[in-house]
Amino acid sequence: MKCADMEWLGHPDCLDCIVRYNAVLAELDLASYETLLRSITKEHLPAKSLLYVQNQPSSDLFVIREGVIKLEETKADGSVRIVRLLQSGDVAGLEACIDNGQGYDQSAIVLHGANVCKIPYRLFDKLAKENSSFINNIMKTWYKQLNASGRVIIEFSTGSVRDRVARVLLYQAEASRKRGSAEIEMLSIKDISALTSVAYESISRVMADFKRDGLLVKSGPYRMKYKWAGLNALVNHQAV
């Protein structure tokens, strides 16, 4: 589905999305906008589809609008690890653009369905050359995102299993809160396992505890309601 078909130009959603989340395009004049927006496609991707594959030559970057995307990295020894989770507003595949289409660092996999905007690398590159502050802003945003998510990953990889799972849930909850929702889109137990480096059976046990304690209540397929305060207390080792 082409942007033009969607009346992207001036589409409040789009402007809001790109400008707000990347704070990048504010300085471009409208003509540049038009060029930019017309070659962006808006796509719906079903569960388990691939945005891109690790090491493959890169041609696009993506802005996530809805849903959760996991970035999986396969190491030399064949083990797979989720190194980041992307949600609404996050950008996927920028590393490849920065590196001139040399290849993606990870594979990007849709969890339970997602809406994304696909931006051709060529466009990105052109825009970067025409407007030098564009790439500076992108880089700053990207740096912050990378830095923040790096910290998150460390938190998912340390502490007791209980703490780790609680932190993953809180991370999910935080994103859902921003969208004004009281539900989270559940990661599968195996995904949480790949994210935390914990055996999936152990995750299952902890999740069962959380449900017993009423911290989590299933509210639909792949959906759960959560108790923010309770999870927070867990992570900070306080009484509820």
Partner DNA sequence: CGAATCTTTGAATCCTCTCAAGTCTTGTGG
Partner DNA sequence: CCACAAGACTTGAGAGGATTCAAAGATTCG
For DNA, the binding residues (CB under 7 A) are 47, 160-162, 188-190, 197-205, 207-208, 211, 221-222
Shortest distance, position 133 Cβ to its own copies, whole Å = 8
Shortest distance, position 28 Cβ to DNA, whole Å = 40
Which listed residue (12, 30, 77, 212) binds its own copies by CB under 8 A? 77
Give CA separation, 184 vs 5, 55, 139, 175, in Å: 31, 31, 29, 8
> Does an H or E element contain 61, and which?
strand 60-66
Q: Counting every residue, how long is the chain? A: 240
Shortest distance, position 40 Cβ to DNA, whole Å = 28
Tell me the sheet residues that pair with 66: 115
Per-residue x/- track, 120-149, its own copies (CB under 8 A): ------------xx-xx--xx-xx--xx--
Contact (CB, 8 A) for 40 and 59: no
DSSP symbol at 16: I
Contact (CB, 8 A) for 193 and 232: no
Please give the residue ranges that form the binding site for its own copies (CB under 8 A): 73, 77, 81, 83, 95, 98-99, 105, 132-133, 135-136, 139-140, 142-143, 146-147, 150-151, 153-154, 157-159, 197, 236-237
